[in-house]
Protein backbone atom coordinates (compact mmCIF):
# COMPACT_ATOMS: atom_id res chain seq x y z
CA UNK A 1 0.00 0.00 0.00
CA UNK A 2 1.06 3.58 -0.61
CA UNK A 3 -0.27 6.77 0.91
CA UNK A 4 0.50 10.48 1.03
CA UNK A 5 -1.28 13.22 2.95
CA UNK A 6 -1.51 16.97 2.43
CA UNK A 7 -1.08 18.76 5.75
CA UNK A 8 -1.57 22.35 6.82
CA UNK A 9 0.65 23.89 9.49
CA UNK A 10 -0.93 26.74 11.47
CA UNK A 11 1.09 29.43 13.25
CA UNK A 12 0.45 30.80 16.75
CA UNK A 13 -2.14 33.25 15.35
CA UNK A 14 -4.14 30.34 13.90
CA UNK A 15 -3.24 31.25 10.31
CA UNK A 16 -2.08 28.64 7.77
CA UNK A 17 1.68 29.04 7.50
CA UNK A 18 2.39 26.19 5.09
CA UNK A 19 0.76 23.44 3.03
CA UNK A 20 2.88 20.41 2.22
CA UNK A 21 2.51 16.77 1.22
CA UNK A 22 3.97 13.99 3.37
CA UNK A 23 4.61 10.89 1.26
CA UNK A 24 4.73 7.70 3.33
CA UNK A 25 5.62 5.62 0.24
CA UNK A 26 5.20 1.88 0.87
CA UNK A 27 3.23 0.97 3.98
CA UNK A 28 3.49 -2.55 5.38
CA UNK A 29 0.22 -4.32 6.16
CA UNK A 30 -0.65 -4.58 9.89
CA UNK A 31 2.61 -2.94 11.00
CA UNK A 32 3.40 0.46 12.48
CA UNK A 33 5.75 2.58 10.36
CA UNK A 34 7.70 5.53 11.74
CA UNK A 35 8.88 8.07 9.17
CA UNK A 36 10.75 11.32 9.63
CA UNK A 37 9.98 14.33 7.43
CA UNK A 38 12.19 17.40 7.03
CA UNK A 39 10.08 20.56 7.26
CA UNK A 40 12.93 22.97 6.54
CA UNK A 41 12.46 26.45 7.94
CA UNK A 42 9.70 25.39 10.33
CA UNK A 43 10.07 26.54 13.93
CA UNK A 44 8.12 23.92 15.89
CA UNK A 45 7.65 26.39 18.77
CA UNK A 46 5.55 28.54 16.42
CA UNK A 47 3.29 25.71 15.16
CA UNK A 48 -0.07 25.69 16.98
CA UNK A 49 -1.92 23.12 14.88
CA UNK A 50 -1.32 20.41 12.27
CA UNK A 51 -4.33 19.56 10.10
CA UNK A 52 -4.46 16.56 7.78
CA UNK A 53 -6.24 18.16 4.84
CA UNK A 54 -6.58 15.21 2.47
CA UNK A 55 -5.03 12.00 1.19
CA UNK A 56 -3.24 12.86 -2.05
CA UNK A 57 -2.41 9.20 -2.68
CA UNK A 58 -4.19 6.12 -1.38
CA UNK A 59 -3.37 2.97 -3.31
CA UNK A 60 -2.90 -0.72 -2.77
CA UNK A 61 -4.43 -4.11 -3.41
CA UNK A 62 -8.17 -3.86 -2.71
CA UNK A 63 -7.80 -0.32 -1.26
CA UNK A 64 -10.48 2.17 -2.24
CA UNK A 65 -9.28 5.80 -2.60
CA UNK A 66 -11.32 7.13 0.36
CA UNK A 67 -10.06 4.44 2.76
CA UNK A 68 -6.93 6.33 3.85
CA UNK A 69 -8.83 9.32 5.25
CA UNK A 70 -11.69 7.24 6.62
CA UNK A 71 -9.36 4.89 8.51
CA UNK A 72 -7.07 7.61 9.85
CA UNK A 73 -6.93 8.02 13.63
CA UNK A 74 -4.99 10.94 15.04
CA UNK A 75 -3.53 11.64 18.47
CA UNK A 76 -0.80 13.78 19.96
CA UNK A 77 1.30 13.87 23.10
CA UNK A 78 2.24 17.51 22.62
CA UNK A 79 0.46 20.84 23.05
CA UNK A 80 0.18 21.16 19.25
CA UNK A 81 -3.37 20.34 18.07
CA UNK A 82 -3.36 17.48 15.55
CA UNK A 83 -6.29 16.08 13.59
CA UNK A 84 -8.44 15.94 10.48
Q: What is the pLDDT of residue 80?
A: 95
Q: What is the pLDDT of residue 54?
A: 95
Name residues whose C-beta falls within 8 Å of residue 54's C-beta, 6 or more positions apart in sequence: 5, 6, 69
Q: What is the pLDDT of residue 14?
A: 95
Q: What is the pLDDT of residue 37?
A: 93
Parallel, antiparallel or unpaired: strands 16-26 and 47-59 = unpaired
Per-residue pLDDT of the chain (84 residues; tens, 9 = 90+): 889 999 999 999 999 999 999 999 888 878 888 899 999 999 989 999 999 999 999 988 888 888 889 988 899 999 999 999
Q: What is the pLDDT of residue 18?
A: 95
**d(C-alpha 26, C-alpha 80), whole Å:** 27
Amino acid sequence: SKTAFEIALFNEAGVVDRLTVLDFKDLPVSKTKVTRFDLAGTDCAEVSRVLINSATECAGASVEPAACMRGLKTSTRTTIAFGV
